[in-house]
Amino acid sequence: MFFSMLMLTGALAFSQAHTVSGTIKDAQGGAVPYATITEKGTKNATTADAKGNFSIKMKGNGDLMITATGFEANSVASSGDVVNVSLKTSTTELATVTVTTALGIQRNKNTLPYAAQQISGDEVSRARGANAASALSGKVSGLQIIQGNGIGGSTNVVIRGIKSLTGNNQALFVVDGVPINNANNNAINRTPPDQKRKDQTTGGGGYDYGNAAADINPDDIESINVLKGAAATAIYGSRGANGVIMITSKKAKRGLGITINSGIVESSIDKTTFPKYQKEYGAGYSDPYEKDGFFYFDVDGDGVKDLVTPTTEDASYGTKFDPNLLVYQWDAFDKTGPYYHTARPWVAAKNDPSTFYISPVSNNNSIMLDGVNDKGFFKLGYTRNDEKGVLPNSHVMKNIINFGAGYNIIDKLTATASVNYSKIDGKGRYGTGYNGRNVNQNFRQWYETNVDLKEQKEAYFRNQQNVTWNWSNPKDELNGLKPIYTDNYYWMVYQQYETDTRDRIFGNVSLNYKLNSWINVMGRISLDTYDELQEERIAKGSNIVSMYSRFNHGYTEKNYDLIANMDRNLTADINLKALAGVNLRRISENSMLALTNGGLIGPGVYSLGNSLNPINAPTETNTPRAVDGYFAGATLGYKEFLTLDGTIRRDRSSTLPEKNNAYNYYAISGSWVFSKNLQQADWLSSGKLRLNYATVGNDAPWGSILDVYNQPPPFGSAVLFSLPGTKNFSDLKPEYTKSKEIGLEMAFLKNRIGFDATFYHTNTTNQIIPVALSTATGFTSKFLNAGDIQNEGIELTVYGSPFKTREFSWDITVNWTRNRNKVLELFGDSKNLQLGSFQGGVSINATLGQPYGTIQGKTWGMIDPNDPTKIVPWDGSGEKLVKSNGRYYTTTTTNNVIGDVNPDWIGGIYNTVRYKGISLGFLIDIRSGGDLFSLDRYYGLATGVTVETTQLNDLGNPSRNTIADGGGVIMPGVTADGKPNAKRVENTYGTYGYAYNPNAAFIYDASYVKLRELVLSYALPQSWLTKTKIIKGAELSIIGRNLWIIHKNLPYSDPEENLSSGNIQGYQSGAYPTTRTIGANLKLKF
Amino acid sequence: MGACTKDISRFNDETKNSSNVAAETLFSNAVRNVVDGITTPNVNDNVFRFTVQHWGMATYEDEVQYDFSTRAIPERWWARMYRDVLADLKESARLVTADEKLDATAKANQLAMIDIMQVYTFQILVNTFGDVPYTEALDFNKPFPKYDDSKTVYLDLLTRLKADIAGLNDSGAGFIAAQDLIGQGSVSKWVIFANSLLVRMGMTIADEDDATAKSSFEAGDPKAISSSSDDIIFKYYGGSPNTNPIWVDIVQSGRLDYVSAKPLVNLLDSFVDPRLPLFYKPNSDGQWVGGIVGSVNTFSATARPSDKVAAPDFPAVLADYAEMEFYRAEAKERGYTVAGTAEEHYNKAITASIVSWGGTAASAATYLMRPEVAYTTATGTWKQKIGTQKWIALYNRPFEGWTELRRFDFPVLSLPVGAKSGFPNRLTYPGNEQQLNGTNYTDAASRMGDDKVEFKIFWDKF
């Protein structure tokens, strides 16, 4: 169906007609760039270039309407071939900006009665990131973006806070009116051996495959409008409750245009986000082992016992380095290596794990063609983004083709179609979480500082063998020369990488019929379909059981829309816009996961057939769903300064019980452009007040009504079934979000400065959640309607142009967001809902009366201020209690709130400085407050990997010396008698880490200030380009992303680094360092 | 378009999961889960081999040193018993009861077997935690059940077990052989198992409630295990995923975590116990060096669990003849009615243990003549003699071993190096119970004084 539209392009013939060209200037004679020139009464329009020049092929001989941001509209006759137009700076109105609102309806921002923030496609794509969603960070108020550092990883996109306790809180992505699936399909770690499915999002290992909105081509984005509140999005139905990222793809321009972008970037790690290793002590766990902290046996057969590195010990609390001490290290057991059976000086490694990271060059190329004439338009684009990761052998390739065309079949009937095809191929995505597949887990938590990474590299590449530093038993040459816990890292990335591929088509065909001058009817069928395959491997010869798994997943969503629109002036002062429509949504989704059982037969063959034991039945899912929606909306405008807007929608969803499956919701909003009533105040350029209220209903997750059984693999000939952990509920009702919003927009000094402020308040009630039960019920959770989360916040956007002359300008936009979130009700008397529990004994929770996302775990104790005989959990300010053995007292309870993942506020400062053809744009992205738990510190400090563990003590002696030798440390705090602790303890394994300190010691403030983007562009002068006669525009940019973390409080790591997108944030394990990219891009227009 | 909207509820139909299954499939699954639980050595699940100091760890000492929260062990143990075992048993019973076509005798037998497994699982919970949810447990309409007094629960379990024994009819059918992972379809096997369990549960509370212990023992003894051929074992297979979980953690994982522990190695060594090479294999130098409990141990230099224990199809034992003979010896010492002398039972128990581990009757006889072993000459009271030998015989049955160690208080074990608490007489309640079921949790904790590992279960009087 889509491809039939291809034929229409053949019909695009460029008819000859009367052409008008000219220049648009301001009152001072300066060029007005990018004005829109429209032939009145038609859709025929064009855009002026940066110099204000335009050319338009006229359909008739009507007037031309010229509009430009910040200027009053002007209308001129089109008589003659050359028309020069002068525009007056707008003084009394908000700039006439049209924004794309829900269902793709264009509206004048002046009268919009709800919060919406639009940014241009250029702002998203100019830093040449591969992911449009990540590029929004700091650029829109109310929008929180969290992105991990893995290649092609997922992006957490939340607008106005977490609303649903356990459901999806991610914003809805809509491209040209069509919802795009943005699922994160990472949830399961498929690595055996225990066959128990662990959740990737809670640190159970596995890979971050990214979310599906990454398939949107940043180069095909004309603009992004973020609809933040329910009033703006209610018409989208349930999925709009979390806000909508409305993406309008590029529209073709008059004539034939070609745009080419070609760029390369080099990536490297930001070393401030990587551990600083101590260089004084080597392998071991504070144990003498067989002799002096070493294994002790005859290596070279001379009958004399030798000192051997304790290769099994993945910690660095061992023997002090001493270049005069000769030790047989891991390489003494590598037969092919230069140091086989050779002792080497006991010294710190020259090349620490940061040398594992590479600085690859990635490239990005795109070409966009477009054309428009009287009968229609087309566009065709191709983008190839070849992104290489900083881990060796990691790579994500995106190939995206965009096609769009429209044709005016008859005067009143227009057909349009768009198709996007994308193919994403990933290889070697980074392993995540607390899992051996994550190389950083070792680098940050379990490492021997005597291991030289470069020597490990050479050892692997000599024969592509798994030559590890972590021999399981070097004494046993026959069976012990294999990894005990850790493979050679190069073996890991070159032998057992994952691969994945996703083929996706999304697009739509529509017919638009103009019934009369004020009613048109649109019918549209849209499709979003993808198939993906994720294959994971563990090579034979690794430290764990070899394995191959394949996960096939298919998703198809079809939307059938029929929408009638009217736009009529009821009287000279009153305008009515109304719409009514029906949307039928049909989703089919299925998956199959199959994996080998018990290992692989032969090496190198990754197929199910190569399974050592017969494979267990694959796990299949089939979860179709349907939602029928009926909606209507009306907008009444009075003299362009009062607007009243209302929408209603009724949905029927297949996931709810039949008797409760229909639900209604509505939104009402109003705005008053009060500056129209204050025209005598000439300092005020414009002012608008907005007010709205909305409710949005939501349905249930698939399969939460009927009870079914789980089926484990059979035990011999015994068939097994089991009750699932979650009890379903046959009487679920829809859940509702209610939201209120008040906003004020003002601009001053002829629009030189202005702001847009919004206060909002939402409650999501009657939530459909699997409430956590005591497992003594026999279930972990049960679906119910329960819970209430409140979000209250302020969004503020301030913009201004401190300098503006013809040649020099500086524009600045500041976005600031403060959200306060509170769990008002859970289920019955329950006070806590555990969202995820993690390695290290901490959990992330929704706790009654607290913000969503409390971190709970063990904390220090302190003497009860009211009763000195009692010990109470540390209150955050008292003196920490030290036990008589000199170590901290730790609570036995694990339900102490020790952190809150929510930031106090987030913000972005976005600057653009222009001088003639040069422009410099940079974005400072800020997060203030919010906590995270670092498992990296929890273990890394215990194992003595980082420099803090070798510091000097209060006596000025090396703290790792024995106390007898002047070493040891004193833990700050008080003893049970209230006196300051004076007991010195040995600085051994665990002293600074988990073994002797509560979880609370590893909670860090996740604030940061980042120089997120910097783009320096130079547009080649038009005068040079005109000589070429072909090139219409050329711009060379130097671009940088994540250049500098200006401020952070988390040592050696990026506070933004996370495991995956989703509701559970605030936990780091094996965190990857920040990837810094610097590159150049050339943009040519023909 | 309107035609599409007629019936959308069909989209919710399950096409990949069953909503109707046979009762015995849930029963088998529950049996498998509870046996896996008591068998696995995984440090995330079952850490009692460290508690009884039969095993130590090479490097990662947290659980050996009694830190049970870093890996949330109470939470996983509790969830396994309630959610993965008891819930499936309850559902299985519901389906059996609802099955109108089932023969009445078979139905009664099946319900009795299911109940025996419920009793078995609940006594594990009581013996682990103390007060636990019981009367309000296993009901999703009571999301936050109260905790019942542990002794009341225990006595009710005994009543149930006696009723189950009365309800078993070995002339009728039980579950089909393929689904009956304990009795292989034999109801008589279940009669033996239930009576042996009655003996065990009775004797467990002997220090607290002598009368109940006596009556339970005497009721169960005649039909309890009377030879090694009666042993209640659970067979594992040689191939994934149905192997013994010990093999998964020791062999398949490729890790070298688990080592022997000095207290048992040294004792076996000094007694010249023929089970030493059956329990453990020597270190790389062929020496029987036991690991230091709670300390880092060099794997290659330490003796470790034997290949026999780590075989993929090594069976799990739920109850055996050696254990029953120790109970009979103890019963005699306590003055309960039982044939024979304490010494005879003691000798039979040790012989059965040695033989079932692969030793010979001759080596057992030699062993029994050693002065430190012989009942008449071994050190200490009957509690010390039986306690010490039972501690050895319950090797690889860590949960039962822990119960008996708490009950006999022999052998006396030192705290591990770096112990984070005193000897764990119980596990603390799960973290998610603290968070979710706060009121009832606090009630239960305050009944005990505090939710500490040192607190003793009601029957642990000394």
DSSP string, A959-994: TTS-GGGT--EE-SSB-TTSSBP--EE---TTSSSG
pLDDT tens sequence across A216-270: 888 888 899 998 888 887 777 778 888 899 898 887 776 788 999 999 999 999 9
Q: Is the peptide bond before A614 cis (omega within 30 degrees of 0)?
A: no
How many structural domains comprise chain B? 2
B34 neighbors B121 (Cβ within 8 angstroms)? yes
Instruction: CATH number of the domain at B89, please.
Output: 1.25.40.390
CB contact under 8 A, B143 and A782: yes
pTM of the model: 0.87
Both B159 and B286 in one domain: the answer is no
Query: Is B369 part of a structural domain of the chain?
Result: no
B354 neighbors B363 (Cβ within 8 angstroms)? yes
Hey, is the C-beta of A445 within 8 angstroms of any chain B C-beta?
A: no
Q: Which of A48-62, A392-406, A531-545, A869-883 has the lowest mean pLDDT?
A: A48-62
A140 Rama sector, left if φ>0, alpha if ψ -120 to 50, beta otherwise: beta
Q: Which two tokens stand for residue B408?
A: 């006999």
Hey, is the C-beta of A836 within 8 angstroms of any chain B C-beta?
A: no
User: At which of B305, B322, B344 does a domain end?
Assistant: B305
Both B251 and B219 in one domain: the answer is no
Higher pLDDT, A70 or A529: A529
pLDDT tens sequence across A581-609: 999 999 999 999 999 999 999 999 999 99
CB contact under 8 A, B144 and A830: yes
- Closest CA of chain A from B209, distance in Å: 27
> Which of the residues A445, A487, A720 would you substitute to probe the B interface, choosing the one with the greatest number of B C-beta atoms within 10 Å?
A720
Q: In chain B, what residues touch A654 (CB-CB under 8 Å)? A: 8-12
- What is the CA B258 to chain-centroid distance, rounded? 20
The 10 Å CB-count burial string (b at 16+, else e) for A657-691 is beebbebebbbbbbbbbbbbeeeeeeebbbbbebb
Percent of chain A exceeding pLDDT 90 equals 64
- In three-state secondary structure terms, B25 is helix
CB-nearest partner of B86 from A194, A597, A778: A778
For residues A207-212, average pLDDT: 84
Q: In chain B, what residues touch A314 (CB-CB under 8 Å)? A: 59
Return the half-sphere exposure (C-beta side, CA atoms, 13 A cut-off) of residue A16: 0
Query: Is B128 part of a structural domain of the chain?
Result: yes
Both B102 and B226 in one domain: the answer is yes
Residues 860-879 of A with CB under 8 A from B: none
> Which of the residues A775, A781, A784 would you substitute to probe the B interface, choosing the one with the greatest number of B C-beta atoms within 10 Å?
A775
Hey, is the C-beta of A478 within 8 angstroms of any chain B C-beta?
A: no
Q: In chain B, what residues touch A933 (CB-CB under 8 Å)? A: none
Query: Is B348 part of a structural domain of the chain?
Result: no
How many CB atoms sit inside 10 A of residue A1028's CB? 11
Dihedral pair phi/psi, residue B420, rounded to 5° = -90, -10
- In three-state secondary structure terms, A286 is coil
CB contact under 8 A, B140 and A782: yes
Higher pLDDT, B409 or A3: B409
Residues 167-226 of A with CB under 8 A from B: 193-195
Surface-to-core class of residue B208, CB atoms within 10 Å of its CB (0-12 exposed, 13-18 middle, 19+ buried): middle
User: At which of B305, B320, B338 does a domain end?
Assistant: B305
Dihedral pair phi/psi, residue B349, rounded to 5° = -60, -50
Q: Does position A181 have pLDDT exceeding 70, yes or no?
A: yes
* Residue A921 bridge partners (DSSP): A912, A1015
Between CA A36 and CA A24 the distance in angstroms is 10
Q: Does position A15 have pLDDT exceeding 60, yes or no?
A: no
Higher pLDDT, B435 or A1039: A1039
pLDDT tens sequence across A885-925: 999 999 988 889 999 999 999 999 999 999 988 999 999 99
Return the half-sphere exposure (C-beta side, CA atoms, 13 A cut-off) of residue A785: 18
Query: Is B373 part of a structural domain of the chain?
Result: no
User: At which of B277, B305, B333 does a domain end?
Assistant: B305
Which residue on chain A is closest to B16 by alpha carbon? A621
Both B227 and B257 in one domain: the answer is no
Both B119 and B140 in one domain: the answer is yes
* Residue A932 bridge partners (DSSP): A1004
> Which of the residues A722, A889, A991 would you substitute to probe the B interface, choosing the one with the greatest number of B C-beta atoms within 10 Å?
A722
Q: Is the dihedral of CA A238, A243, A249, A254 positive or negative?
A: positive
A285 neighbors A325 (Cβ within 8 angstroms)? no
Hey, is the C-beta of A888 within 8 angstroms of any chain B C-beta?
A: no
Both B196 and B101 in one domain: the answer is yes
- Closest CA of chain A from B20, distance in Å: 8
Q: In chain B, what residues touch A706 (CB-CB under 8 Å)? A: 12, 14, 19
Query: Is B150 part of a structural domain of the chain?
Result: yes
DSSP string, A720-760: --B--SEE--TT---EEEEEEEEEEEEEETTTTEEEEEEEE
Both B227 and B259 in one domain: the answer is no
Q: Which two tokens stand for residue B419?
A: 């112990």
Token look-up 């291809």 returns A6
Amino acid at site B325: E
Hey, is the C-beta of A730 within 8 angstroms of any chain B C-beta?
A: no
Both B263 and B221 in one domain: the answer is no
CB-nearest partner of B242 from A485, A715, A841: A715
Both B81 and B218 in one domain: the answer is yes
A158 neighbors A762 (Cβ within 8 angstroms)? no
Both B206 and B125 in one domain: the answer is yes
Q: Looking at residue B435, what is its pLDDT?
A: 80
Query: Is B163 part of a structural domain of the chain?
Result: yes
Query: Is B432 part of a structural domain of the chain?
Result: yes
Q: Looking at residue B432, what is its pLDDT?
A: 85
Domain holding B151, by residue range, is 23-47+72-235+428-447
Hey, is the C-beta of A830 within 8 angstroms of any chain B C-beta?
A: yes
Residues 705-724 of A with CB under 8 A from B: 705-713, 715-723
Q: Which two tokens stand for residue A732?
A: 């679920």
- Closest CA of chain B from A419, distance in Å: 23
Length of chain B: 462
- Any idea what the Cα angle at residue A850 is, between residues A849 and A854, rounded to 5°? 145
CB-nearest partner of B142 from A627, A710, A777: A777
Following CA atoms A301, A303, A304, A310 in sequence, which dihedral angle do they give, to the nearest 10 degrees?
50
- Any idea what the Cα angle at residue A908 is, between residues A906 and A912, rounded to 5°? 175
CB-nearest partner of A895 from B4, B12, B431: B431
Q: In chain A, what residues touch B62 (CB-CB under 8 Å)? A: 995
Q: Is the peptide bond before B241 cis (omega within 30 degrees of 0)?
A: yes
Both B89 and B206 in one domain: the answer is yes
* Residue A989 bridge partners (DSSP): none
Hey, is the C-beta of A304 within 8 angstroms of any chain B C-beta?
A: no
- In three-state secondary structure terms, B342 is helix
Hey, is the C-beta of A850 within 8 angstroms of any chain B C-beta?
A: no
Query: Is B301 part of a structural domain of the chain?
Result: yes
Distance between start and end Cα atoms, chain B: 78
CB contact under 8 A, B14 and A706: yes
pLDDT tens sequence across A343-387: 999 999 999 999 999 999 999 999 999 888 878 889 999 999 999
Q: In chain B, what residues touch A624 (CB-CB under 8 Å)? A: 11
Both B128 and B34 in one domain: the answer is yes
Q: Does position A861 have pLDDT exceeding 50, yes or no?
A: yes
How many CB atoms sit inside 10 A of residue A744's CB? 14
